[in-house]
Amino acid sequence: MNTTILWMDLVRGVGVTLLAVQVPLLLLLLVRLMPGRTRRPPIAPRLTPRTDTTVTVVVATLNEAKRIGPCLEGLMAQTEPMLEVLIVDSRSTDGTRELVEAASARDSRIRLVTDDPLPAGWVGKVWALETGLRQAKGAWVLGIDADTVPAPGLVGAVVDAVEQDGYDVASFSPQFRDQTAAERFVQPAMLVTLVYRCGAAGATQPPPDRVLANGQCFVARRALLEQHGGYEPARASFCDDVTLARHLASHGARVGFLDGSKIIQVSAYVSLAEMWREWGRSFDLKDATPTWRRWIDVALVWSAQALPLPMLLGLTAVLASMGWPAAANPHVMLLEALALVNASALLVRLLMLVALRQSYAERGWPFWLSWLSDIAAAWRLTLSTARTPTRWRGRQYDTLVTDGAK
């Protein structure tokens, strides 16, 4: 009898605690996701030239020979308003420079620039972008990553979108392509954690401290960047795109994050191991987010994404052992409420999978079963939050000082 009472007290205590944690976090998630119901549809390419404005494209490179070819081809297919393409290289040794020079011989808009030696306190990519900005002539500066594939009409579409919506700065989420089955099983779960923490692309502009950005396709008015010191506010950041976007938003700029799945693709990683390692570098957005908020986001991801499925399975087993559904007592009702909360969270998670399907060029069974890797994604986020990266693309960073996370 005493054992039964202790068991029931334990069930009640655990159930109440879990409800007290999960319900507020699930409500917080729904508040973040709600603007996504009316989000702007994916941006369509603009295939007709524009001559009323100009755009400088900046691509930072360091040993990108294996990936930059499709990017160069895509940029050469662009029409006006693209004025120039500055490939800012940090002394690559793998043939990147030769590929860029060959492209420049075919298209005079492409120019190879070598950045100066990396100053103390700067991350390499950010310094390369700053170098490009200092030489840019366009009214807009569009940062493009070397592992992307710009669709014809990307540059015009980007400018159309920001001007139509009144943005000063905007970035665009890509469509992922050329992923292995293992990547398609894990990476969508990691992407969902970003949506859970920051909201969906194309949704209503969030507060400055919740702005999300994607440096793979990031456009800003050149005059605005110069007014705010260029890329210097993000000089030491491993998530320079989010750090810069939030800095500009906090100073009054209108910043957008839009769905660019129809205008740009990305094939960023060669293996699941590389993806796991590289996502961890900036996964928690630590350089742009206060520590306390990052840990709240970790709790939200565990509560609303990673644990609902195992919780639901465990609760079903416990309820069955208690005679459910025939049994009816306060303990059973408490567990039923907890099961309902976790079933609701799991339903939201599965709906997210449907909403993100256009972000993947290849899907198949690994994509549709990727919700089974939510625990792995939550664990990767936890590791990223607990650790400080010191190495990126062969460079060691031991003395960086960031302004974002306190």
Q: For each of the domains in the chain, give its residue range(s) and CATH number, in order of start.
A: 14-36+293-388 (no CATH), 39-185+198-290 (3.90.550.10)
Question: Which pLDDT does position 278 carry in this prediction?
Answer: 78
Q: Tens digit of pLDDT for each residue in 201-214?
A: 766 677 888 888 99
Residue 380 binned pLDDT confidence (cut-offs 50, 70, 90): very high
Tokens of 238: 């491993």
Side chain identity at 225, as an amino acid letter?
A: L
Q: Tens digit of pLDDT for each residue in 343-379?
A: 999 999 999 999 999 999 999 999 999 999 999 999 9
Q: Tens digit of pLDDT for each residue in 99-135?
A: 999 999 999 999 999 999 999 999 999 999 999 999 9
Would you say residue 263 has pLDDT above 80? yes
Tokens of 236: 């030491």
The more confident residue out of 279 and 368 is 368
Would you say residue 219 has pLDDT above 50? yes
Side chain identity at 197, as an amino acid letter?
A: R
Contact (Cβ atoms closer than 8 angstroms) between residue 392 and residue 295: no
Would you say residue 385 has pLDDT above 80? yes
Mean pLDDT of the chain: 89
Residue 394 binned pLDDT confidence (cut-offs 50, 70, 90): low
Question: Which pLDDT does position 404 carry in this prediction?
Answer: 46
The more confident residue out of 125 and 328 is 125
Would you say residue 256 has pLDDT above 70? yes
Would you say residue 42 has pLDDT above 90? yes
Q: Tens digit of pLDDT for each residue in 166-195?
A: 999 999 999 999 888 999 999 999 999 999
CA distance 234 to 245: 9
Would you say residue 403 has pLDDT above 60? no
**Looking at residues 139-151, what average pLDDT do you find?**
97
**Looking at residues 258-265, what average pLDDT do you find?**
95
Residue 17 binned pLDDT confidence (cut-offs 50, 70, 90): confident
Question: Which pLDDT does position 309 carry in this prediction?
Answer: 96
Q: Is the pTM of this model over 0.85?
A: yes
What angle in degrees, to the nearest 10, is found between the helix axes of 330-355 and 308-321? 150
